[in-house]
Amino acid sequence: MDLSPFQNLIDELKSKKMIVWKNKKKSEIYQIDSALIDDAEGRLKRFAPYFQEVFPETKKQDGKVESVLQSVPVMQQKLGVKGKLYVKRDDALPISGSIKARGGIHEVLYAAEKIAMEHRFVSLEDNYKIFTTKPIQKLLSQYTIVVGSTGNLGLSIGIMSATLGFKVNVHMSHDAKEWKKQLLRKIGVTVVEHSGDFSLAVDAGRKEALKDPNSYFIDDEHSKQLFAGYAVAGRRLKQQLQEENIAVDANHPLYVYIPCGVGGGPGGVTYGLKESFGENVHGYFVEPTESPCMLLGMATGLHDKIAVQDIGLSNLTIADGLAVG
Ligand SMILES: *Cc1c(COP(=O)(O)O)cnc(C)c1O
């Protein structure tokens, strides 16, 4: 590949300075598939009664898996940020404590609902508490959910799948934390450890799932249902801002900085934010200086055909969930 047109940018990335890159191809003309978000939002609502049963910590939010919006005045002052600064505490999301509790959990629910409906165990009108009952658990136990992960997606999908009765195999990359593997094994999840990075773990999962017709692979690099689950965050944030009487309009633009690994989480969330706020929201993806895969892929137009290792970066980072090369 000829990277010479991008040499200046690549030199900057190699120097591991913090930089900002703006996408010049960004357009204000775009189409949002609201039906995709409606569908995910509806599914999460249907499962809310079930969540209250199996995850009591979601009771106070009526079975919703949502995080608080926290004002951070001291941080705002130290950073010298104008306007108002908030932290959206997805680190404190119920069940699995990361943004993956949005997309990952949604896709497992999608798979469970689809299988249960195909076998006529459930219809849209039912109270989804029915998913706690033995016949459905037994049905789902004949299926295996497979996923590759740096840790947090495995945690979300492992917990949700095991709770529903699925068998579940999680392929973990080398950077996955020990406690996450231990927790998953304790609840009956099969954890396969790999010495390679994220993409290798995903590939291993994809290959395994192809061999078994009763397995369902959750693809962190391509899945629409993950993306849809993340996108629901836009409507949720809109509601929270309204409740706090915080205006977002042409005079009060919203700037959102989202940690970025493979890009599905921040991509889905930004998609949802665009649906809710249009041109008044501005999304920034934030990556470790050793793992700027999204920046490199978008700036060169090579997307997943280029890796940070190709320009001499290590893809080693302590930043949780962001070691994607
Ligand atoms: C996965 C993850 C992200 C980024 O999501 P991607 O879809 O990989 O871009 C950010 N923060 C945390 C804690 C994560 O687990």
In this predicted structure, what is the pLDDT of residue 27? 82
b/e map of 134-158 (b: 16 or more CB within 10 Å)? eebeebbeebbbbbbbbbbbbbbbb
Q: In one letter, which amino acid is 21? A: W
C-alpha 324 – ligand 1 centre gap (Å): 9
Separation CA 12–CA 7 (nearest Å)? 9
Return the ligand 1 atom nearest residue 91 CA: 13
In this predicted structure, what is the pLDDT of residue 197? 87
In this predicted structure, what is the pLDDT of residue 214? 95
Burial of 127 (0-12, 13-18, 19+ CB in 10 A): exposed
> Which two tokens mark 287?
């990556």
What are the residue boundaries of the structural domains of the chain, listed by start? 4-21+68-91+226-322
Within 19-176, strands assigned E span: 69-71, 86-88, 144-149, 167-172
Return the ligand 1 atom nearest residue 226 CA: 7
Q: In one letter, which amino acid is 150? A: T
| Residue bearing the CA closest to ligand 1, atom 12 | 321
Pocket probe mutation, ligand 1, options 87, 98, 102, max atoms within 8 Å of Cβ: 98
Pocket probe mutation, ligand 1, options 106, 257, 322, 324, max atoms within 8 Å of Cβ: 322
C-alpha 78 – ligand 1 centre gap (Å): 26
Architecture of domain 4-21+68-91+226-322: 3-Layer(aba) Sandwich (3.40)
Polymer length in residues for the chain? 325
- Nearest Cα neighbor of 292 from 267, 319, 260 is 260
Residues with a CB atom less than 6 Å from ligand 1: 98-100, 152, 259-266, 320-322, 324
On whether the pTM is more than 0.85, the answer is yes
C-alpha 40 – ligand 1 centre gap (Å): 19
> Which two tokens mark 124?
């849209």
Return the ligand 1 atom nearest residue 259 CA: 10
In this predicted structure, what is the pLDDT of residue 28? 75
b/e map of 16-29 (b: 16 or more CB within 10 Å)? eeeeebeeeeeeee
C-alpha 260 – ligand 1 centre gap (Å): 6
Per-residue pLDDT of the chain (325 residues; tens, 9 = 90+): 789 999 999 999 999 999 999 999 888 778 999 999 999 999 999 999 999 999 999 999 999 999 999 999 999 999 999 999 999 999 999 999 999 999 999 999 999 999 999 999 999 999 999 999 999 999 999 999 999 998 999 999 999 999 999 999 999 999 899 999 999 999 999 999 999 888 898 999 999 999 999 999 999 889 999 999 999 999 999 999 999 999 999 999 999 999 999 999 999 999 999 999 999 999 999 999 999 999 999 999 999 999 999 999 999 999 999 999 9
